[in-house]
Structure 1
């Protein structure tokens, strides 16, 4: 019998793989890979070629019993696979075309090598910043507060999340496209991504709660505290909802082991929706302390520096927006946008920047404490400067506690415990 190379005509030299054809190739790679446990360590592209050779040998008369015997699925799974292509003849024609005509034209994009360097760099930087923050609270403000301990928990969870993403980078191999990966790697990547996505809401919730608790204890202004209450409800509700949605999205939690099942929820739309809610709370938390800066009596330089310090949170907001854009772009079904490692990279950036920016006031206070002659005129933000020569309690926004220009009194203390 002649081989497919001898019979099938070559594609035109100017042939371009359409988006529809690419979707078909990637889908076939997933279905074939998940239905061929006997060859789970071979790339799905190679397994498709095995199916094509079998289909060519039997002239399209493929049976569920033979597929189960050769490739390892149950007969019911093999029946499902044949049914996806509207029968054995269509199935045979599709996989032979993919294996012997389209495959030579397929691109082979590599995964970006960004996760490991980002994880190492941010872990070093964030560890240093968190250490300075705790030292500042101990040395300058008289003790580590509950919101600092929450930030420490968020830091630990962030490091764990980053470490899991490093494993995700490893199991994904160097290739992006499904047909360049084995089912062992595909399933491992899906499983790890699932773990990261389920874990993410809790990490983000702890970091945001540490900031909200700080704002709550910083002042007794009612509108600030009620804003904190409302934002806390949204943050906690979003995190719980995201967790539950990921647990019930498909009939089976380990959905990658059941490629023939249809999930109840559009995963991409759900992720984008929750990311949008997190960005909304990011903006609220960023804006929340600004009215305090404008209400208190501060010199123009102090007001500007206070605004700059609290405005650093905008950097974390920008990172969250980029993460949302990556969710939109890199969860598409194409050969060069199916990687989730870019999403991992931006999530590492987002979480670490949130911790770094939330620690900026404490680090600045520590700098002022140890360099009073140079920085004394800058004032302190969020903590009192205990130099031993102060005559009154410092404020957490400016250089001293005072009333607003409108005459409203506020308790804005250096130590929320006092």
Structure 2
């Protein structure tokens, strides 16, 4: 019998794959790779070629029993696979076309090498910032506060999330496209990304709660505290809802092992919706302390430094927006966007920047403590220098209540 290379016509030199063609190939790679446990360590492109050779030998008369015997799926799953392509003849024709005509024209994009360098760099920087934050609380504020311990928990969770992302980078191999990976790597990649998706809401919730608790204890202004209450409800509700959605989106948690099942929820749309809510709370948390800064009786330069300190939160907001854009772009089926490592990279950036920016007031207080002549400032919104308190002078909103500690003086903003 003549081989497919000798019979099938060659595609013209100027032939270009359409988006629909790529989607068909990538989908076929997932369906066929997941239904061929005997060849789970071969690339799904090679497995498609095995199916194509079998289809060519039997002239398209493919049966579920033979597929089960040759490739390892249960007969019921093999029947589903055949019906998915519209019957044995259509199945055979499609995979022969993919294997011997389209495959030579398929692109083979490599995965970006960004996750590991970002994780290492941010872990070093964030560790240093967190150490300075804790030292500042001890040296300047007289002790580590509950919101600092929450930030420490957020730091530990951020490092854990990044470590899982590094493993995700490793298991994904160097290739992006599904047809360049084995089902072993694909399924492990899906499982790891699922773990990252389920874990993410908890990390984000802890970091945001540490900031909200800081603002709550910084003042007794009613509108600030009610804003903190409302934002906390949104943050906790969003995180719990996201966690529940990821767990219940499909009939089985390990949905990648059940390709014939239809999930209840569109994962991409759900991720975008929750990411948008988190961005909204990012903006609220960024804006929340601004009225306090404007009410402080500060010299212009001191006010500017305070505004810059709290405005750093905008950087984390920008990172969140970029992460949302990556969710939109890299959750699609195409040879150039069938990877989620870019999403991992922006999530690492987002989480670490949130911790770094939330630590800025404490780091600034430490700098003021050790270099008052350089910064020429006597306090931050939450702290004053160790030299003492000037009650009723610049640096208070309305009336300020102060409590002395062994390391310095902590200012708490009060309503008149």
Q: Into which bin does the TM-score normalised by the smaller protein fall?
A: over 0.9
- Is residue 317 of structure 2 the alignment partner of residue 322 of structure 1? no
| Residue of structure 1 aligned with 2:395, choices 386, 396, 400 | 400
Whether 2:127 is the aligned partner of 1:132: answer: no
State the partner residue of 2:94.
94
Give the equivalent residue in structure 2 for 1:406. none
Structure 2 CA distance for aligned equivalents of residues 378 and 112 of structure 1: 46
Separation (CA, whole Å) in 1 of partners of 2:227 and 2:277: 16
Question: What's the offset of the Cα at 1:371?
Answer: 1.2
Question: 1:73 matched to which residue of 2?
Answer: 73
SS in 2 for 1:292: helix
SS at match of 1:12: coil
The corresponding residue for 1:259 is 259
User: Which residue number in structure 1 is paired with residue 5 of structure 2?
Assistant: 5
Question: Normalised by the size of structure 2, how large is the TM-score?
Answer: 0.96
Question: Once the 2 structures are TM-superposed, how far is the Cα of residue 375 of structure 1 from its aligned partner?
Answer: 2.0
CA RMSD of aligned residues (A): 1.6
Say whether the 8 Å CA contact 2:201–2:243 is kept in structure 1: yes
The whole-number CA distance in structure 2 between the counterparts of 1:312 and 1:411 is 27
* C-alpha distance in structure 1 between counterparts of 2:309 and 2:267, whole Å: 37
Residue 355 of structure 2: aligned partner: 355
Partner of 2:289: 289
Q: How far apart in 2 are the matches of 1:183 and 1:384?
A: 59
Structure 1 residue 152: Cα displacement: 0.1
Query: For residues 158-212 of structure 1, what are the alpha-carbon distances to aligned partners after superposition, in whole Å with 9 as ceiling and x for unaligned?
Result: 0000000000000000000000000000000000000000000000000000000
Give 2:82's aligned residue. 82
Which deviates more, 302-311 or 118-127?
A: 302-311
Give the unaligned 5+ runs of structure 2: 404-409
Contact 1:301–1:378 (Cα < 8 Å) also in 2: no
Structure 1, residues 325-360: CA drift from partner, whole Å, max 9, x if none? 000000010011110000000000000000000001
What is the Cα deviation at residue 380 of structure 1?
2.8
When the two structures are superposed, what TM-score results if normalisation uses the length of structure 1? Answer: 0.95
Give the corresponding residue for 2:201. Answer: 201
Given that residues 383 and 394 in structure 1 are in contact (C-alpha distance below 8 angstroms), is that contact kept between their aligned partners in structure 2?
A: no
What secondary structure is seen at the aligned counterpart in 2 of 1:377?
A: coil
Q: Partner residue of 1:183?
A: 183
- Structure 1 counterpart SS, 2:62: coil
Contact 2:68 2:78 survives alignment (8 Å): yes
Offset at residue 296 of structure 1 (A): 2.1
Identify which range, 244-253 or 294-303, moves more after superposition: 294-303
Q: For the residues of structure 2 that align with 1:378 and 1:410, how far apart are their CA atoms? A: 15
Q: Is the 8 A contact 1:219 1:412 kept in 2?
A: no
Q: Is the CA contact 2:400–2:413 (under 8 Å) kept in the aligned structure 1?
A: no
- Give the secondary structure class of the aligned counterpart of 1:174: coil
The answer to whether 1:60 aligns with 2:55 is no
Q: Deviations over 1:28-75 (max 9, x none)?
A: 000000000000000000000000000000000000000000000000
Match of 1:170 in 2: 170
- Contact persistence 2:134–2:144 (CA under 8 A): yes
- Over 3 Å counting, the alpha-carbon distance change for 1:16 and 1:59 in structure 2 is same
Unaligned runs of 5+ residues in structure 1 are 404-408
Distance 1:84 1:339 in 2: 25
1:374 aligns with: 374
Which position in structure 2 is the counterpart of 1:308? Answer: 308
Distance in 1 between residues matched to 2:286 and 2:392, nearest whole Å? 23
1:364–1:381 CA contact under 8 A, matched in 2: no
How far 1:295 moved relative to its partner?
1.5
Contact 2:108–2:180 (CA under 8 A) maintained in structure 1:
yes
SS in 2 for 1:157: helix
Where does 1:269-288 land on structure 2 (aligned, <5 Å)?
269-288=269-288
When residues 105 and 391 of structure 1 are mapped into structure 2, their CA distance, relative to the original with a 3 A threshold, is closer
CA distance in 2, matches of 1:410, 1:81: 72
Task: Count residues in correspondence.
Answer: 408
**Does the aligned pair in 2 maintain the 1:220–1:411 contact within 8 Å?**
no
Q: Residues 206-251 of structure 1: CA distance to partner in whole angstroms, max 9, x if unpaired?
A: 0000000000000000000000000000000000000000000001
- Measure, in 2, the Cα distance between the counterparts of 1:306 and 1:324: 29
Instruction: Give the Cα separation in 2 of the matches to 1:411 and 1:417.
Output: 7
Cα pair 2:42 2:182 within 8 Å, conserved: yes
